[in-house]
Amino acid sequence: MQRFDGLARALTPLGLTLLLLLFTLTPLRSPYFAPVVPSLALISIYYWTVFRPDLMPAGAVFLVGLLHDLLGGAPLGTGVLALLLVQAAVGGQRKFFATAGFPLLWIAFAVLAAVVEALIWLLACLLMGRLIDPSPAILQYAVTLAIFPCLFWLFGRAQQLLLRDSEPVR
């Protein structure tokens, strides 16, 4: 039973990320909602890479990106590449991020999210062979930044409640 508990705790970040991804990909009947759906999986991967990289390995990030591309209809590989680049960028500076305060983490996320949105937009333009209107990407970026504090707080609570007994990798 203790093994099952440990496994469930270890899968918490991936499970939450997949649930958030499915939530954002759920089709709604409003055509106006799609451009404002925040990149919740991006926020999740950023958070868990900073605070619990042992529970968000590259294989899990690849899986999330692949599911995003397959289920969301994005050009295959764009989500995978973007999420793995975020993980690599954050992972390379994790010691700095792990000790930074929330305002600095939010600013760093804003920069990374802007790069990711621009990269995804550029790759989509290249793969489709035409210039795509960037306004939906800009709107999605703004909504993602606006919801970041709420999700950051929720992930912090989840980490305190569910993962308090397990030690993070330093």
What does the pLDDT read at residue 37?
84
Rounded to whole angstroms, the Cα distance separating 55 from 9 reads 9
Rounded to whole angstroms, the Cα distance separating 61 from 45 reads 7
Q: In this predicted model, what pLDDT tens digit does every residue of 125-143 receive, in sequence order? A: 898 889 989 998 899 999 9
In the predicted structure, residue 167 carries a pLDDT above the cut 60 = no
Whose tokens are 């970041």? That residue is 148
Whose tokens are 């619990």? That residue is 52
b/e map 118-152, b = 16+ CB within 10 Å:
eebbebeeeeeeeeeeeeebeebbeebbeebeebb
Helix axes 135-162, 12-25, angle to 10 degrees: 150
In the predicted structure, residue 82 carries a pLDDT above the cut 80 = yes
Rounded to whole angstroms, the Cα distance separating 82 from 51 reads 20
What does the pLDDT read at residue 33?
61
Mean pLDDT, the chain, as a whole number? 87
pTM higher than 0.85: yes
In the predicted structure, residue 49 carries a pLDDT above the cut 90 = yes
In the predicted structure, residue 20 carries a pLDDT above the cut 60 = yes
Q: By three-state DSSP, how is residue 127 classified? A: helix
H-assigned helices in 32-162: 40-51, 58-72, 78-92, 94-99, 102-128, 135-162
- Name the residue type at position 27: P
Query: At 82, which helix (H) or strand (E)?
Result: helix 78-92
Domain ranges of the chain: 2-24+36-162
